[in-house]
Every structure is written in structure tokens, then in C-alpha cells.
Structure 1
Amino acid sequence: MLKVFFKENIIIAVLALLRTLAVVVLPLILYAFVSYSNLEDQNLYRGLSIVGCLVFVKLVEPLSQRHWFFLARRPGMRLRSSLMVASYEKQLKLSSLGRKRHSTGEIVNYISVDAYRMGEFPCSWLLKMRCLDDDLKNENLNIDENETPNGSVRIEDGKFSWDPEFSLPTLSLINIGIQPGHKVAVCGLVGGGKSSLLYAVLGEMPKISGTIDVSGSIAYVAQNSWIQSGTVRENVLYGKPMNQARYDEVIKACALDKDINNFPHGDLT
């Protein structure tokens, strides 16, 4: 944060110094003005100089103070926004072990409460900063992105476990190679490790040993549905303009046509 706001902090320090000097010098100029007024032999040039200095200092004090306060508040707001964005982006990259250390409520507090309170009081600032620092230092997802000549996804002798300290791995001796352009289905009994295998490819499950190479990026559609408040059509379009041909194609590809026909108001339900 010091590197990001270094230049602004220098300007703030200069303005604070000017305001402090103005406050210190002002009584001295007033003393010189009073002393000049008591002189019998008064020099007009000296009197005008003292008055000019007095007016100049009185202008410097409020202007430097207001700019100081404004520039000090602006980096504070930017600091809060930066911490909120950094905390949010960190949650998207957290590994499974990192998520275990912080509950959902704690993560929401880091983003909405702790980051907002930064800078209010020095002691609470340090406490909140330490909490955010611990959260930002958690492990990221470990995804190997290499150009695999034999397939887009390749795992050799892979061992994976949700808890690396546990002696028995969740998946062991996994060998798989998925060729580009192929459609692969993972089938098996309930609790057989199908979802764990997908999480291992995504990098969500920590790798104990072996190699895993992923060519390019991965798009993942979770089993948990996310529906926003609105009609079925609004959930499908998600803010985009209506294209009937494209819309019908998507509905058919998702096998929603039969479900929509059973709804009382169709896709406007």
C-alpha cells in the first residue's frame, strides 16, 4: 500500500508541513505587527511587508489545511476500495485449505466491514490490517498450465487429498489422459470420487504427489444451481437482449423445454 500511495503521501506531508509552519509563524508576525504599531518612527515599507506576510500566511493556513484534509481522505477511500477488491479477488483463488481457515461469515466481514473500517483509528487499523493480511496470505489454487502434447488434461500417478496431513489420500494412483475435442463422462458409485477427480483437475484438491498438466484454461459448471430473483426467461437471458433463435437453441441444449412446458406461465414463471 505504501508503494501505491507513496506520491500522494508525499504531497500530503508537504501540505501538512506548510499548515504547521503557518500556524507557528502567524503569532510571530502578529507580534512583529504589534511592535511596529508601537514605534514612533514607522517605516511604511516595513509596515506593508508585515501586513503582506500576515495576509499571505492567513491564506496559506486554510488552503493547505483543506487540501491536506481532502488529499488525506481520498487515499483512505482508495485504500478501502483496493482492500475490498483484493479481498474479493483472493476469495476466487483460495484453495480448499484456505477456505477451511475462514468461514463464509468471516470472509464477508473482511470485504464489507474490516476493509471499510481501515483508517478510522490507529489501533483498530492495525488489527484489521493483520486480519486482512492473514486472509490474503492463504494458499491460492494450484493449477498447472502446461502445453501437453498428448492431451488437454493429463494426470500421472496422481495422489490427492483434501487434507494433506492425513495419511490416507482421497484419490491415489490416478492416471488419465483426455484428448482435445473428446467428450468424457466420469461415472461411478455414489461417494466413489467422481467429484473429487474433477476438483483435482481444477486444482481445488491439494496434490500430494504425481504430475497433473492442464493445457489452456478450464470452464467449470458446478452442480449447485444459482438462480436470481426473476422469471425463468430473465435467468436464461441474464440481462442480454432477446434473440428467439438463440434462446430456443439454449433451452433445447439445456433440456429445459419439457420443464418450461410444465410451468403454469411457461418461461415467464
Structure 2
Amino acid sequence: MAFSYEENGTSEPLLGEKKEKHAVPERISPYSKATLLQLVTFSWLNPLFAVGAKKPLEQDDVPDVDLLDSAGYLSQNLSDCIKQVKSKGRQGNPLYKAMVLFVRRKVAINALFAIVCASASYVGPYLIEDFVNFLSNKRNRRLESGYLLALGFLGAKVVETISQRQWIFGARQLGLRLRAALISHIYQKGLHLSSQTRQGRTSGEIINYMNHASYIRPSHEPGAGSLAALGATLVVMLCNIPLTRIQKRYQSKIMEAKDDRMRTTSEVLRNMKTIKLQAWDNQFLSNLKSLREKEYNHIWKSLRLAALSAFIFWGSPTFISVVTFSACMLMNIELTAGRVLSALATFRMLQDPIFNLPDLLNIIAQAKVSADRITTYLQEEEIQHDAIEYVPRDESEFDVEIQDGNFVWSSELDKPTLENINLKVRRGMKVAICGTVGSGKSSLLSCILGEMKKVSGEVKVSGTKAYVPQSPWILTGDIRENILFGNTYDAAKYHQTVKACTL
């Protein structure tokens, strides 16, 4: 039966009515049908810009993403990569190998653009010395050579700009694709976690999973002084090894502290009514403040390390310049105007990658920690998908039927939690399951839902089922902490409580 709310002649179904498949017109992505020239110049965005220039953009004005960038396609593609890696039986982490398989084609294209961009960017410094020599000896040089130099500068800059834009666009597109695929997998994994695994995972902890990546390019120095410049650059780069390791350790502690804070905050929000009625505000507020202080201390250490990294690498271009020119003077290398300008242009090119290196180190540390956490999460145990056999209603007179069922909560347990279960519930029956605390009432319902691991036997369900559970407030911690609830420990009273609750 469907219920609807009517007002001003409109009716909106709430349950049981399906909308037409193509009720909303599909907005085809201009990127998917763009020509090569449009892809190179990004002119496929012009229609959207034209609409935005006339009025503020609304959701209906923005076209849908390309099929290759949709979450459904990307999720399925990553799943196929994971299956392909597992089918080959390779050792190691299957998710890492699947991610490499997932991004390798796009990474290869981006790497090609990066190589072209880097190669074109060094044309200018190479030609500066010839250009200075041309200006110094214009009487002895042909005018055509000057035009050729100018065309060389212009052509190199055009190639560099186009390849750089394509490289950056491709890198961001790749990051969004990988993120969409991973988020989809994380969500799907949360729907299939086993009951044993779900006890150690909260929604706040799952939200914390993310990753990122970046690139860097090489350098060129003048003459034999390049050896000194290369040595200075290597010294600067070697400084990032211990800094990255320390940053990774800080990032791991930040994520752990964030998980604890999110878990506790979720518990407090879910049970705010009880906290207010019992006047436990200050106690839980103090606990949250202590967890936030712990997270703050780790973040503060990470930021101080980031500041140190920034100080080192922002001073590195000047350091490299001084070392290079000093080495040239000691080796009696003539520093002509062309060589100096060429070197300064090269140093200017090196500034951006070196300045961005501290941020890159933080991103690498965060990405490594997040990728490890996501991998661990995606490898958690799932529910047994073949634990229940669904039977059509017209083929069975029973809504629920269990024959010689043996069930266990964890595979590590030697003895089944429920043994030799035989149950038949006819359609229309009302059944009450009675027993003491811990006798297996909830476990029996869980095995009917398929949330317990079935060791042997058969479970058949006909029709539909719904489960409305209790919502017990169990804090993160051991049994004693949940019983004491912040009060001081009294052995006699504690054991009396345990006995009264038949725990």
C-alpha cells in the first residue's frame, strides 16, 4: 500500500510507487563528445561559461559527468582490478596492486605530458645564452637566426603551457576517479561487515579514510658547476627522508586520536537524552576535551615539523645558487652574462618544485597512512553471503525454517555459539523466544538475518523480514568501565551488580 501527501494538486509517493526511469532528462557531458582541439584548448567548457555569464549557475545547468568518471563505473572497474589481482594469486597487498592496475593507463598519459612539459620548460634556459650572444653580436649574426630564436621561445612556451594544463587536469581527474572508487568500496564494505568486525568499527572512523598524490620534475645547471649544484640539491633532498618518516609517525597518531574522538563523540550524541537526564554533562565533556587535547598535541607537533620543512626548502634555492656560483669561481669557470642568465632561469624553474616539497612530504605521509588504513578496513571479515537460502512464498508454508543449524560469532572460536538449532515458523505465527541474559536469544535472530557465521545446517527464509533491535548504550572500553560509568570502583558493589545482571 502506498501513502501520499497531497497539496495544491500535487501528489508525492512515500512508499511502494516507482518513478519513471527517465523522469529527469539526462544532461550529456560535453567532455565525452569533445573533439581533440576542444580537449586541448578546454573549449568544451565554453557553453557552461556562457550560461554562467548570463545568470548564476543552477544544478540543472551543470551537465552530468562523463561515464568514465561516474562512481558506478569506477567502482566496478576497481572491483574488476581487485578480482584480476586475486585471480593471479600474487603475493602482497591486493588493493595496492589493484590501485596500480586501476590508474596505470591514466598515469602513463599524465607522465607523458609531464615529460613533454619538463622538456619544453628547459628550452628557454638553453636558448638564453644564444639569445644574449645574438644581441651582443648583432652585426655578425643573421637576422633570420634571431627570428628562429624568438620562434623557439614561443613554440617551447606554447608546448609547455598546453602540456602542463593537460598534465594538471589529468592528475586531478585521476585523483577524483580513485577517490570516488575507494569511497564507493568503503561504503559497500560497511554494508557487508560481519557482526564481529562491526563491533570495532564506527561510522566516524570510516569517514576518516582518504588519500592523495603528486609529482616533481628534475633540474639542469650550467657547465661543470652542475656537479656542485647537483650535490647541493641532493643534500636538500636527503633532508626529506627523516622528515617524511617523522611526519608519517605523527600522521598515524593524529588519525588514531581522531578515531577515538569521533567514536566517543558519536556515543555521546546517540545517547544525549540519557546524559542530560542523569546530569553527566561535565563528566563526558571532560572526557571529550582530554581526547581533543591529545589530538591537538599531535597536530601541533606535525605543524611544527611542517614549519621546519618549509624553512629548509624555502631557503634551498638561494643555497643552491650560492653553492653553484661559488663552485664556478673556484673552478675558474667564466661566468658570462648568458651563462648567469641561463643559470638564474634554471634556478627559478626549480623554485616551485622545491617550495612545494614540504607540502608534498605531508601529502605523501597522509596518503601512506590513509592507504594503509583503507587497505586494512577493506580486508576485514564480511558476513557469510550464502548463509541464508531465500525461498519464494508460494513454494513453502514456513516463513522461517532452520534445520540442524550450528552457528558461531567468530571463526576463532572452537565451540559453536548455537548448536543443533531446529526451528519452523509457519506463516502468520507469533513466536516469543524467552531465556536468561546471554542464553542466545539475540544470536538466534542474528542467524536468521545471516549475521552469524553458519558452520553447518540450513536456513531458509520465505517472504520479507524486518529487524527492530534494542539500542543499548555500550561505551568503548571493557565491561568494568561500562558498569562503573565513571564512578569509583567498589569490589563488593561491583560483584553484586554483575550477579544481579547475571553477567
TM-score for both structures, normalised by structure 1: 0.67
Match of 1:210 among 429, 447, 457: 457
Q: Aligned equivalents of 1:64 and 1:224: distance in 2? A: 59
Q: Aligned equivalents of 2:384 and 2:399: distance in 1? A: 17
User: Closer, same or farther in 2 for the Cα pair 1:5/1:163, shift >3 Å?
Assistant: closer
Match of 1:160 among 404, 407, 426: 407
1:189 aligns with 2:434: yes
Aligned-pair distance for 1:96? 1.3
Q: Amino acid of the residue matched to residue 381 of structure 2?
A: E
- Where does residue 114 of structure 1 map in the other structure? 209
Whether the 8 Å CA contact 1:98–1:139 is kept in 2: the answer is: yes
Q: Amino acid of the residue matched to residue 121 of structure 2?
A: V
Q: Aligned equivalents of 2:462 and 2:175: distance in 1? A: 42
Secondary structure at 1:5 match in 2: helix
Whether the 8 Å CA contact 1:118–1:129 is kept in 2: the answer is: no
Aligned-pair distance for 1:185? 3.3
Match of 1:24 among 115, 118, 122: 122
- Where does residue 5 of structure 1 map in the other structure? 103
* C-alpha RMSD of matched pairs (Å): 2.9
Q: Aligned equivalents of 2:182 and 2:467: distance in 1? A: 29
Aligned-pair distance for 1:146? 4.5
- Where does residue 85 of structure 1 map in the other structure? 184
- Where does residue 130 of structure 1 map in the other structure? 372
Secondary structure at 1:2 match in 2: helix
Q: How does 1:131-150 map to 2 (within 5 A)?
A: 131-144=373-386, 146=389
- Where does residue 72 of structure 1 map in the other structure? 171
Whether the 8 Å CA contact 1:16–1:65 is kept in 2: the answer is: yes
Q: Which is richer in helix?
A: 2
Match of 1:95 among 194, 200, 224: 194
**Could you tell me the percent identity over the aligned residues?**
32
Q: Aligned equivalents of 1:211 and 1:131: distance in 2? A: 36
Match of 1:34 among 132, 136, 148: 132
Cα distance per residue 1:188-247 (max 9 Å; x no partner): 21445343222102211112222334568x54332348xxxxxxxxxxxxxxxxxxxxxx
- Where does residue 468 of structure 2 map in the other structure? 222
Q: Amino acid of the residue matched to residue 13 of structure 1?
A: A
Aligned-pair distance for 1:174? 1.4
User: Closer, same or farther in 2 for the Cα pair 1:41/1:161, shift >3 Å?
Assistant: same
Aligned-pair distance for 1:92? 1.1
Q: Aligned equivalents of 1:130 and 1:68: distance in 2? A: 27
1:176 aligns with 2:423: yes
Q: Aligned equivalents of 2:159 and 2:433: distance in 1? A: 77
Q: Amino acid of the residue matched to residue 142 of structure 1?
A: Q
User: Closer, same or farther in 2 for the Cα pair 1:147/1:91, shift >3 Å?
Assistant: closer
Q: Aligned equivalents of 1:109 and 1:193: distance in 2? A: 29
Whether the 8 Å CA contact 2:123–2:153 is kept in 1: the answer is: no
Aligned-pair distance for 1:26? 1.8
Cα distance per residue 1:8-47 (max 9 Å; x no partner): 3223212211111012222122233333442544334333
Aligned-pair distance for 1:74? 3.1
Q: Amino acid of the residue matched to residue 88 of structure 1?
A: Y
User: Closer, same or farther in 2 for the Cα pair 1:5/1:185, shift >3 Å?
Assistant: farther
Q: Amino acid of the residue matched to residue 432 of structure 2?
A: C
Whether the 8 Å CA contact 1:162–1:170 is kept in 2: the answer is: yes
Q: Aligned equivalents of 1:176 and 1:165: distance in 2? A: 26
User: Closer, same or farther in 2 for the Cα pair 1:31/1:169, shift >3 Å?
Assistant: same
Q: Aligned equivalents of 2:178 and 2:408: distance in 1? A: 38
TM-score for both structures, normalised by structure 2: 0.39
Q: Aligned equivalents of 1:128 and 1:162: distance in 2? A: 29
Which moves more between the two structures, 61-70 or 22-31?
61-70
Secondary structure at 1:160 match in 2: strand
Whether the 8 Å CA contact 2:189–2:378 is kept in 1: the answer is: yes
Whether the 8 Å CA contact 1:159–1:172 is kept in 2: the answer is: yes
Q: Aligned equivalents of 2:459 and 2:110: distance in 1? A: 51
Q: How does 1:253-268 map to 2 (within 5 A)?
A: none
Whether the 8 Å CA contact 2:114–2:167 is kept in 1: the answer is: yes
Whether the 8 Å CA contact 1:155–1:174 is kept in 2: the answer is: yes
Q: Aligned equivalents of 2:184 and 2:191: distance in 1? A: 11
Cα distance per residue 1:122-150 (max 9 Å; x no partner): 23312211111111111221132546565
Secondary structure at 1:187 match in 2: coil
Aligned-pair distance for 1:57? 0.9
Structure 1 segments of 4+ aligned residues over 6 angstroms from their partners: none
Aligned-pair distance for 1:94? 0.3
User: Closer, same or farther in 2 for the Cα pair 1:28/1:82, shift >3 Å?
Assistant: same
- Where does residue 16 of structure 2 map in the other structure? none
